[in-house]
Amino acid sequence: MKTIEIAPITVDGKARIGLFFRYDPSLIGQVKRIPGARWDPKQKCWHLAAVAGMIENLVIRFHDLAVLVSPETSSTGEIYQGSSRSGRADVPKEYLKVMQLKQYSRKTIKTYTVMFRMFMRYFSDHALNQITGEEIRDYLIYLSEEKMVSQSYQNQAINAIKFYYEKVLGQPRQSYYLQRPRREVHWPSVLSEEEVMRILKQVNNLKQRTALSVIYSAGLRISELINLRLEDIDTARAQIRIRQGKGKKDRVSVLSPNILKLLRKYYQAYRPKVWLFAGQYGGQYSAGSIQTVFRRAREMAGIRKPATVHTLRHSFATHLLERGTDLRYIQELLGHQSSRTTEIYTHVTQKGFRNIISPFDNLDM
């Protein structure tokens, strides 16, 4: 996933809010549309005025990205100088402590913290334990109708609020029940087997081609690929072991014989020590590098449909289904908790679809 980091900077002696992210033309286009956005060539970042409400607006605008907010940047968009942080609507310490005890991911903790801090600012004249369910619903309507946030963003806000009242305060569910918005249903983009082959053939670098091939061959998320260690390749059982995938669950996926041949060739050339795919300086491989390689290969292959590295995972599942693999096995390979998540691939498979004859073909034209 693309990441954008929001952090305080100083430009010409003035406090500004800096936006740091890898080069991406579409993201640059979004930033340019923000009034007052300017590029700083020295610090190599875009920056905006440090005004009240700016952080919230940025989080809403870039809700589809992994947004990292520096702790030195306040929830109001103001940048703190020195140690004075008076007036900051900070989350209760217990809120953070419970998330840490439950071993929530760093990304989830940051998301919940930003969401709940915005909630607290909205009710700055209320004690948290005195906010009613009706008032919370009014806040969600405010997000939807005035801030015009997406349904996924609103769901994240609900989760952050519910976590405080249910997990931190231990209140019964009915005291803070919230009507959740209906999620939009989007079918995943899927590449054909021929399109996957065309993309992989455009990648000449052995490490990059092997990395993308492993993702497609085993249906991995990009984070799962870069977390693979040498011992996770079980040649005896023909399995790839995925440790602590999404939801902190372990699982196994298939190790293709052809992938094993490619991995052996890759190992002979690169001799990785700890991580199966190491970066330039020995650490984990960069997710951004893999995404860049895929995007270029897709363009060189002449494929115009929207596709990312994650599309390889969707394609893996769809191709298995088209070849007759039981949906339950696909669910296990992907690590889906619910079968309903896996069932979405039944909507994009071409199995049986090509056998349907349009009634137009029966007309004697």
**Catalytic residue list:** 221, 246, 310, 313, 336, 345
CA distance 259 to 5: 36
Q: Following DSSP, what letter does each residue of 200-220 receive, concatenated?
A: HHT--SHHHHHHHHHHHHHT-
- List, in sequence order, the alpha helices (H) in the chain: 25-32, 54-61, 93-101, 106-122, 133-145, 151-162, 193-201, 206-218, 222-226, 257-270, 287-300, 309-322, 327-334, 339-342
Q: Is 138 exposed, middle or buried (0-12, 13-18, 19+ CB in 10 A)?
A: exposed
Bridge-based pairing of strands 38-40 and 66-69 is unpaired
DSSP symbol at 238: T
Tokens of residue 355, six digits = 């056998």
What CA–CA distance (Å, rounded) separates 100 from 78? 27
Q: Which amino acid is at 198?
A: R
Number of H helices, E strands in the chain: 14, 8
